[in-house]
């Protein structure tokens, strides 16, 4: 049984054209005019709608044990939420506890992810440096198809790495051809600022952004880029929020360094007035790095970056916690679990504000949300509508208007950081692995139908500055 998607406008990263798309099994097998329909094929009318490659989210945290609790979407509900928003592949972060084996961590994450309704891979987090870490990193790439690592330069006393570990991770990553994703904030400075604020009795969620100024992100971004450059490693700076870090990335790119930058919709679209919400309402917006203040050039730097190519991708950092979980920090903002939902909102929010708002074309949005993350992270069958690619597709109707709300989203999160935001355009259908998994508001995603995506390394050392 296959599908023929009839008469839509196919939009890839660099092109758009009217065509039928034929799907057999899990694969796109034909693109053209008047494609024949087999006796058992389902025909889907896409006239007047866009046919997009399934979006790839390179930054999510499903059922993540974090800050004394666990993020509320598991791999089933989180991927289903993604499908409702046009995302058909995710890259989650496998985060083994400090001092534990990467391979044991991977086994644990694979077990959790077996219920995913969409395809998935992992970035492997390095949360400390031990005598087996280098060999385990090599094994993860060589034997397990994981070709990207993660370092947190923040979250001191938990998963933060020091410069020694950062140096070593970049070295082994360059040797193995893996990308290093980086949470870039100076965790020691954040820790000091947090203590100073708490000592003055400043404990509410509105002090979260005060404890993490943009200079702290800029400094860490610069340091990560430098560490990578020493070894010719390829860094991918996740969830960039500010002018200083975009400028650091821009300097590195213009100097010829291979490096990538990601931002997320919330950093483009929200500002620190969200912390004015009464009754601990600001806690919903507590994430790191923080949502920035308007008028300081941060939002403009991000919009320019995603438009002009200095920033490469837009992920979501989907990591939701319930209000009840956020209350762990009712008397101390440093204990509010950091993170929010976003995987379901990305396409409609960016179509509305990015495309209709005049910042970039729909082709560029496909590049930022699908083609680029697929290419950077070696998902070779994802990111474009083409014969031979996986049949992960989104039929997107650009006309309807809607409102984002926790009342209607599929995530288990009880609040939406985009609550009440108007959007234009709607995901009408999402096709995952050749099957319709979401149709006109109804989810048909099948628990466990997602597959683990093994990847091959492509980012071997380039222009190393030291030869240790």
Q: Which residues bind ligand URP (CB under 6 A)?
A: 61, 183, 287-288, 317, 319, 338-339
- Give the nearer residue to ligand URP in terms of CB position, either 183 or 375: 183
Which residue, 123 or 381, is less far from Zn ion as judged by CB?
123
For 314, the token pair is: 């837009």
Neighbours of 386 (CB within 10 A): 13
Nearest to 153 by CA among 235, 90, 232: 235
Q: Does 353 bind Zn ion (CB under 5 A)?
A: no
* DSSP state at residue 465: S
Q: Which of Zn ion, ligand URP, none does residue 287 bind to, with CB < 5 to 8 Å depending on kind? A: ligand URP
Mask of contacts with Zn ion, 74-113, x by CB under 5 A? ----------------------------------------
Which residue's CB atom is positioned nearest to ligand URP?
A: 338
Q: Kindly state the smallest distance separating residue 78's Cβ from ligand URP, in Å.
A: 13
- Residue 206 touching Zn ion (CB under 5 A): no
115 binds Zn ion (CB under 5 A): no
317 vs 345 by CB, closer to Zn ion? 317
In angstroms, what is the minimal distance from the CB of 288 to Zn ion?
A: 6
For residues 21 and 54, is the Cβ–Cβ distance under 8 A? no
ω into 63 cis (within 30 of 0): no
Closest separation between CB of residue 314 and Zn ion, Å? Answer: 13
Radius of gyration for the chain, computed over Cα atoms and rounded to the nearest angstrom: 21
Task: Give me the least distance between CB of 268 and ligand URP, in Å please.
Answer: 15
Helix, strand, coil % in the chain, rounded to nearest 5: 35, 25, 45
Q: How near is the Cβ of 288 to ligand URP at its closest, in Å? A: 4
Q: Does 262 engage in binding with Zn ion (CB under 5 A)?
A: no
CA atoms within 13 A on the CB side of 449: 20
Residue 122 backbone zone (phi > 0: left; psi -120 to 50: alpha; other: beta) = beta
Tokens of 297: 């050039």
Q: How far is the CB of 452 from ligand URP (least distance, A)?
A: 21
Contact 395, 432 (CB under 8 A): no
Beta carbon nearer to ligand URP, 51 or 287: 287
Cα(387)–Cα(381) distance, rounded to whole angstroms? 10
**CA–CA distance, 3 with 435 (Å, rounded to integer):** 8
Site for Zn ion in 420-459 (CB under 5 A): none
Q: At closest approach, how far in Å is the CB of 93 from ligand URP?
A: 7
* Smaller CB separation from Zn ion, 41 or 188: 188
Residue 211 vs 288, nearer CB to ligand URP: 288
Closest CA to 83 of 428, 454, 378: 428
Contact at 8 Å (CB) between 28 and 2?
no
- With both helix axes pointing from N to C terminus, report the angle between 243-254 and 214-231 in degrees, rounded to the nearest 10: 20
Residue 193 CA: distances (Å) to CA of 197, 200, 211: 6, 11, 5
Binding residues for Zn ion restricted to 284-343, rule: CB under 5 A: 317
390 binds, among ligand URP, Zn ion, none (CB under 5 to 8 A by kind): none
375 binds Zn ion per the rule CB under 5 A:
no
Q: Give 183 or 415: the residue with its C-beta nearer to ligand URP.
A: 183
Could you tell me the CA-to-CA distances from 37 to 3, 18, 44, 48, 66 in Å, in that order?
Answer: 8, 17, 11, 20, 49
Residue 22 interaction partner, one of Zn ion, ligand URP, none, beta carbon < 5-8 Å per kind? none
User: What minimum distance in Å lies between the beta carbon of 430 and Zn ion?
Assistant: 23
CB neighbour burial string for 249-259, b if at least 16 within 10 angstroms, e if fewer: bbebbeeebbb
Taking CB under 5 A as the rule, does residue 222 contact Zn ion? no
Q: Which of 183, 415, 426, 459 binds Zn ion (CB under 5 A)?
A: 183
- Rule CB under 5 A: say whether 150 interacts with Zn ion: no
CA-CA-CA-CA dihedral for 393, 395, 401, 403, to nearest 10: -30
**To the nearest whole angstrom, how small is the minimum distance from the Cβ of residue 66 to ligand URP?**
6
> How many residues make up the chain in this entry?
468
Helix (H, G, I), strand (E, B) or coil at 52: strand
In the complex, minimum distance from the CB of residue 114 to ligand URP, in angstroms, rounded to a whole number: 22
Considering the complex, state which of residue 46 and residue 302 has its C-beta at the smaller distance from ligand URP: 302
Nearer to ligand URP, 93 or 167 (CB): 93
Q: Which is nearer to ligand URP, 280 or 460 (CB)?
A: 280
Query: Under the rule (CB under 5 A), what is the footprint of Zn ion?
Result: 183, 317
């Amino acid at each position: 049984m296959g599908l023929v998607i009839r008469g839509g406008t196919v939009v890839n990263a660099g092109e758009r054209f009217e065509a039928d798309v034929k799907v057999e099994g899990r694969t796109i097998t034909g693109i053209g005019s008047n494609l024949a329909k087999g006796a058992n094929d389902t025909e889907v009318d896409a006239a007047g709608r866009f046919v997009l490659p399934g979006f790839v989210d390179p930054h999510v945290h499903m059922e993540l044990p974090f800050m004394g609790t666990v993020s509320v979407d598991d791999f089933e509900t989180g991927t289903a939420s993604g499908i409702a928003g046009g995302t058909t592949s995710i890259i989650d972060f496998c985060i083994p506890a400090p001092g534990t084996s990467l391979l044991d961590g991977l086994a644990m994450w694979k077990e959790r992810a077996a219920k995913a309704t969409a395809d998935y891979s992992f970035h492997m987090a390095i949360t400390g440096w031990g005598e087996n870490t280098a060999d385990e990193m090599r094994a993860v790439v060589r034997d397990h198809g994981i070709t990207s690592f993660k370092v947190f330069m923040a979250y001191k006393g938990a998963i933060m790495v020091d410069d020694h570990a950062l140096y070593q991770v970049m070295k082994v990553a360059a040797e193995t051809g893996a990308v290093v994703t980086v949470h870039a904030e100076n965790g020691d400075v954040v820790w000091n600022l947090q203590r100073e604020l708490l000592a003055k009795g400043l404990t509410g969620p509105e002090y979260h952004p005060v404890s993490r100024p943009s200079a702290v992100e800029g400094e860490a971004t610069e340091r990560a880029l430098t560490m990578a450059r020493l070894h010719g490693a390829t860094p991918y700076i996740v969830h960039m929020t500010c002018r200083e870090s975009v400028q650091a990335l821009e300097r590195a790119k213009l100097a010829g360094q291979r490096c990538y930058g990601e931002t997320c919709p919330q950093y483009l679209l929200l500002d620190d007035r969200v912390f004015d919400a009464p009754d601990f309402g600001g806690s919903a917006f507590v994430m790191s790095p923080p949502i920035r203040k308007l008028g300081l050039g941060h939002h403009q730097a991000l919009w320019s970056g995603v438009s002009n190519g200095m920033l490469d991708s837009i992920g979501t950092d989907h990591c939701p916690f319930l209000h009840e979980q956020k209350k762990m920090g009712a008397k101390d903002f440093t204990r509010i679990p950091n993170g929010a939902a976003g995987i379901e909102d990305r396409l409609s929010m960016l179509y509305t504000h990015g495309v209709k708002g005049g910042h970039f074309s729909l082709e560029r949005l496909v590049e930022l949300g699908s083609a680029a993350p697929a290419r950077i992270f070696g998902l070779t069958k994802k990111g474009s509508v083409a014969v031979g690619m996986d049949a992960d597709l989104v039929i997107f109707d650009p006309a309807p208007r809607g409102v984002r709300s926790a009342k209607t989203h599929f995530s288990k999160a009880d609040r939406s950081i985009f609550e009440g935001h108007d959007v234009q355009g709607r995901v009408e259908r999402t096709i995952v692995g050749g099957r319709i998994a979401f149709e006109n508001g109804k989810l048909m995603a099948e628990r466990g139908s997602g597959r683990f995506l093994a990847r091959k390394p492509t980012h071997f050392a380039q222009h190393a500055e030291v030869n240790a």
